[in-house]
């Protein structure tokens, strides 16, 4: 996502991901499901936000298609979807969402909404960054998987841009200053040590 610059994933994370593609794909499947669930939640929470409804509904459908695709990629390699504890990456990011009561008069939405959209944009941007890294990292050992990551990278970049545009609409203007703060916080969360390998966690 060109307007959102997350920090580069570490070589250690890329190496751990390549060394355990089964865990990576299983967690990835759950991530796609969560992305769809978050989008559907927004459809209920913001049911009267006209410019959100159709693009976010489409996004939710795309995430479920991604989910189905990842499950097929698992199957094709003789693996299966299993439950796997999340590393709470998104939950950690949402901890810094500002309270809704700080809504300034005249603004279309509260600061909480701006932050929610920015956190979603950052998650999509991080997914994009990791898929791009994985394309080259897995090319030599699993070329079809590299092609799959390339197709997903395009979609996640688009999703990041959509959530950023919604954040700007919610703020009624630029969100640059808050995006800088949240990007720095995301960099800290993604680099937390001692977590098991996940799409959004693992070796820093």
Residues forming the site for Fe ion (CB under 5 A):
32, 35, 63, 66, 124, 156, 159
3-state helix, strand, coil in the chain (%, to 5): 70, 0, 30
Nearer to Fe ion by C-beta: 59 or 138?
A: 59
> What is the smallest separation between the CB atom of 55 and Fe ion, expressed in angstroms?
12
CB 127 within 8 A of CB 63: no
Nearer to Fe ion by C-beta: 111 or 119?
A: 119
Nearer to Fe ion by C-beta: 92 or 124?
A: 124
> What is the smallest separation between the CB atom of 159 and Fe ion, expressed in angstroms?
4
> What is the smallest separation between the CB atom of 67 and Fe ion, expressed in angstroms?
8
> What is the smallest separation between the CB atom of 194 and Fe ion, expressed in angstroms?
27
Nearer to Fe ion by C-beta: 130 or 159?
A: 159
Nearer to Fe ion by C-beta: 63 or 129?
A: 63
Query: Residue 163 corresponds to which tokens in the numbers above?
Result: 């959530």
CA distance linking residue 80 with residue 83, whole number of Å: 10
> What is the smallest separation between the CB atom of 66 and Fe ion, expressed in angstroms?
4
Backbone angles phi, psi at 141, to 5 degrees: -110, -20
Residue 132: CB atoms within 10 A of its CB come to: 18
Query: Residue 143 corresponds to which tokens in the numbers above?
Result: 């070329």
Classify 112 as helix, strand or coil.
helix
> What is the smallest separation between the CB atom of 102 and Fe ion, expressed in angstroms?
28
CB 201 within 8 A of CB 192: yes
CB 137 within 8 A of CB 159: no
CA distance linking residue 65 with residue 53, whole number of Å: 19
CA distance linking residue 100 with residue 43, whole number of Å: 18
Nearer to Fe ion by C-beta: 32 or 129?
A: 32
């Amino acid at each position: 996502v060109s307007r959102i610059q997350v920090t580069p994933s570490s070589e250690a994370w890329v190496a751990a991901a390549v060394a355990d593609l089964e865990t990576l794909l299983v967690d990835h499947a759950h991530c796609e499901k969560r992305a769809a669930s978050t989008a559907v939640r927004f459809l209920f929470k913001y049911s009267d936000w006209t410019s959100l409804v159709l693009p976010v509904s489409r996004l939710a459908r795309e995430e479920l298609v991604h989910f189905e695709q990842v499950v097929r990629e698992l199957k094709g390699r003789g693996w299966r979807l299993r439950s796997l504890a999340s590393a709470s990456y998104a939950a950690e990011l949402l901890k810094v969402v500002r309270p809704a009561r700080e809504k300034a008069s005249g603004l279309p939405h509260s600061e909480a909404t701006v932050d929610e959209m920015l956190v979603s944009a950052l998650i999509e941007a991080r997914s994009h960054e990791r898929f791009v890294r994985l394309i080259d990292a897995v090319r030599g050992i699993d070329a079809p998987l590299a092609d799959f990551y390339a197709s997903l990278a395009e979609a996640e970049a688009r999703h990041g841009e959509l959530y950023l545009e919604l954040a700007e609409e919610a703020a009624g203007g630029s969100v640059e200053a808050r995006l800088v703060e949240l990007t720095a916080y995301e960099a800290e969360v993604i680099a937390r040590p001692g977590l098991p390998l996940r799409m959004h966690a693992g070796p820093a």
